[in-house]
Structure 1
Amino acid sequence: MSWFRKKSRKIEVVPQDKRHVRTEGIFVKCPSCDAALFRRELEESFQVCTHCGYHFRLDARARLAMLYDEGIYEELDAGVISTDPLNFVDTKPYRERLEQARRTSGLPEAIINARGMIGGHLVFTGAMDFNFLGGSMGSAVGEKVTRLIERAIRERAAVITIAASGGARMQEGALSLMQMAKVSAALARLDDERLPFISILTDPTTGGVTASFAMLGDVIIAEPRALIGFAGPRVIEQTIRQKLPKDFQRAEFLLEHGMIDAVVDRREMRSFIIRLLNFMMNPAVQTAREEKAEELPRASALHATD
């Protein structure tokens, strides 16, 4: 819209709130290299800067569509949502925070469960979304991850989780912390069944999520420059009163120190996952894992020989 209109030989000034620039919304500025990115090209590159490789945050449903064959998947457990077991109130009631999070994010919870095919393999995936209360893990998130794992065991399928979280949800107190043990126990059962679990860490992955299922994968993958840790670097520096190393808790630092297995560009993530599944779901590989597990002495046998 032009800023001036000719009306009966008079020039009318268009009000400020009705002025629009035609390029609004077409370009996005990269916070890393300051490049002006054409929005359509950014979407085609899965929200990765085509100049410097900076990874913008991606919502849960976009991640699922990116991974699954033809972007098709079945959403599961949408009815599992958080309540307010403690009637918690800080600056506002927890119930109000939940309603607001659902309105602003368009999500029922901080994680979306999905079932579908990736590279021809049946896979159950849980994708967390930082837009819903910082991707925090409460009772509903723990229940949904546990259900995901139990379904995979029943259907002999692989499990993938995509973490994006600030940690356990403080408004649910100890009930949220209990989810760490609950999900870890479910993953132990998955391991007993010799079924693969792939953990993908995105920016940020912190707190109770890092201290539980996010770091328990058979293969742990991170996106470039993702912040991964338990406490944040600022909290650690204030606690130990020392300056942390450069890029401490970034994905590349963790890879260098053996905490994760790979750092993979988002644009190559699907093909990397498919290669992993081709190997891990190979019947010969699964048979070898079972035979090796049978050769390992049981804990009771070890104690008997002490």
Structure 2
Amino acid sequence: MNWITNYVRPRINSMFGKRDIPDNLWIKCPETGEMVFHKELEDNFWVIPSSGYHMKIPVDARLKSFLDDQWYERLKLPSVPQDPLKFRDVKRYTDRLKEYRNKTGLDDSVVVALGSLEDLPVVVACHDFTFMGGSLGMAAGEAIVTGIMKAIEFNRPFIMFAASGGARMQEGILSLMQLPRTTAAVDMLREKGLPYIVVLTNPTTGGVSASYAMLGDIHIAEPGAVIGFAGKRVIEQTIREKLPDDFQTAEYLKAHGMLDMVVPRHELRPTISRILRILLKMPPSADRAAIETDVQDDAASATTTEKPAADQPAAA
């Protein structure tokens, strides 16, 4: 009888017990394979510090990092029929919705919030890709239309963070009807002269990229975001040609005139704030104005300082 194995080790194990360690403490960078501690990633806005790879960011974290004082007010959205087509594949559509609602804590794939961006009141709509791939259904379409109507009512710019695989197949033609509905809402926003800024994140594809995600006044994308309608492999099989490795990336689209700019997540706040103030013909934000005033005062004082006469040597 081995008393160490049969007696000592069980006693030690019973004294200290086995601790359950969460399996998501370390997150792997898809580009480099580097393991990053989750807290470090969250503090860096879900961007890998070494490689700059932009991970998918939860809606709550995105809104808090983007809006002033990490505060926003969720807009109450109208209810829509849950399962209009009584759809069923591997499981019932209603069961699938219940599963994703429990998993994400959201009612559907789009959240609309009221807040301010560097003291400028805005309305922000944000896709959550973890809710059925950010797919566009009746609830998401209603959320976007309601958000635009609120922007018109409150006379605020509308900002859209898109991240979607496209229309939701479980709702069939009813999901496709959201494309003209949201397009009409964007036209109403434009008639009121209110800015519509679209931020395309990874990925933005399908019907979403073919409608409101490409109708903005300014189109911004996060680095490395995949943006397109059909998938790369589908296009290659259709045209029977090999496409570039960076095809459908944000950088590729910008180089070919489909995007206005590619902006890292850390710089979205000041960049969009500047754009909105230019479009609205407003003065710069208070902090920037104060800085510019100080610089101008320093320059003025420097130019008015008395200079030594030409026939007198300057003091050493």
Question: What TM-score bracket applies, with the shorter chain setting the length?
Answer: 0.7 to 0.9
Cα distance between partner residues in 1 of 2:119 and 2:155: 14
Is 2:228 aligned against 1:226?
no
Matched with 2:99 is 100
Matched with 2:54 is 55
Shift of 1:92: 1.3
Shift of 1:35: 2.0
Contact 1:78–1:108 under 8 Å retained in 2: no
Matches within 5 A, 1:232-251: 232-251=231-250
Matched position secondary structure for 2:107: coil
Is 2:174 aligned against 1:181?
no
Shift of 1:39: 2.4
Q: Which has the larger radius of gyration?
A: 2
Q: Which runs of 5+ in 1 are unaligned?
A: 1-5, 285-306
Matched with 1:277 is 276
Q: Give the residue type in structure 2 aligned to 1:98.
A: L
Deviates more, 1:246-255 or 1:58-67: 58-67
Shift of 1:221: 0.5
Matched with 2:9 is 11
Identity, % of aligned pairs?
A: 45
Q: Give the residue type in structure 2 aligned to 1:205.
A: T
Shift of 1:82: 5.6
Matches within 5 A, 1:201-212: 201-212=200-211
Cα distance between partner residues in 1 of 2:83 and 2:22: 44
Equivalent residue pairs, number: 277
Q: Quickly say closer, same or farther: Cα 1:81–1:66, change in 2 above 3 A.
A: farther
Cα distance between partner residues in 2 of 1:272 and 1:115: 19
Shift of 1:244: 1.1
Matched position secondary structure for 1:209: helix
Q: Quickly say closer, same or farther: Cα 1:265–1:82, change in 2 above 3 A.
A: farther
Could you state the TM-score of these two structures normalised by the residue count of structure 1? Answer: 0.85
Output one character per residue of 1:106-141: Cα deviation in whole Å (capped at 9) or x when no partner.
111101010111111111110000110110000111
Contact 1:80–1:144 under 8 Å retained in 2: no
Q: Quickly say closer, same or farther: Cα 1:24–1:104, change in 2 above 3 A.
A: closer
Matched position secondary structure for 1:144: helix
Matched with 2:118 is 119
Matched with 1:132 is 131
Q: Quickly say closer, same or farther: Cα 1:63–1:7, change in 2 above 3 A.
A: same
Shift of 1:89: 1.1
Could you state the TM-score of these two structures normalised by the residue count of structure 2? Answer: 0.82
Shift of 1:27: 3.3
Contact 2:78–2:143 under 8 Å retained in 1: no
